[in-house]
Structure 1
Amino acid sequence: MMILLSICLLSQPTTCREDRINLSYEASSPFICLRNGQSAIATWQAAHPEWHVARWRCAARGSEPKNL
């Protein structure tokens, strides 16, 4: 599983892009991804303080949607 993020710059809220977090463990279900997603996003956010996570969702690897 992976977490798909929609992120925007804090200094320019109209500047947005998408990013992803590949989970280091193989979450076997969306529930496990959702349960562990908050901490993974918090870690990502701490490493990228200039960005704000506007939306996120879990997705299976290899089945990425075209947009979030």
Structure 2
Amino acid sequence: MLTLVLTVCLQAEPTRCKDERIDFNGSATACLVQGSPIIAEWGSDHPEWTIKSWKCGRSREG
């Protein structure tokens, strides 16, 4: 399993950043192609955060 790793920062406090992880069930190529709409949805659900970057990586669980 892969994970989308988003680096996000608070809009009100841009130096306060963290990584958010979203599980992704698919290949690395699929993660790169299909990641954008998942990330856009996360951004819509969390308007107080700004997405600075994202990447596909291995899940921490395996």
* Matched pairs, number: 61
Hey, what does 2:45 align to over in structure 1?
47
> Match of 1:37, as an amino acid?
G
Tell me the distance in 1 between the aligned counterparts of 2:20 and 2:42: 10
TM-score, scaled relative to structure 1: 0.80
Tell me the distance in 1 between the aligned counterparts of 2:45 and 2:7: 16
* Identity rate, percent: 34
5+ residue gaps, structure 1, are none
5+ residue gaps, structure 2, are none
Runs of 4+ in 1 over 4 A off after TM superposition: none
Tell me the distance in 2 between the aligned counterparts of 1:9 and 1:61: 24
- List per-residue Cα deviations over 1:11-49 (Å, max 9, x = no partner): 1101111111112xx20x211000000000001001000
Hey, what does 2:18 align to over in structure 1?
17
> Match of 1:58, as an amino acid?
C
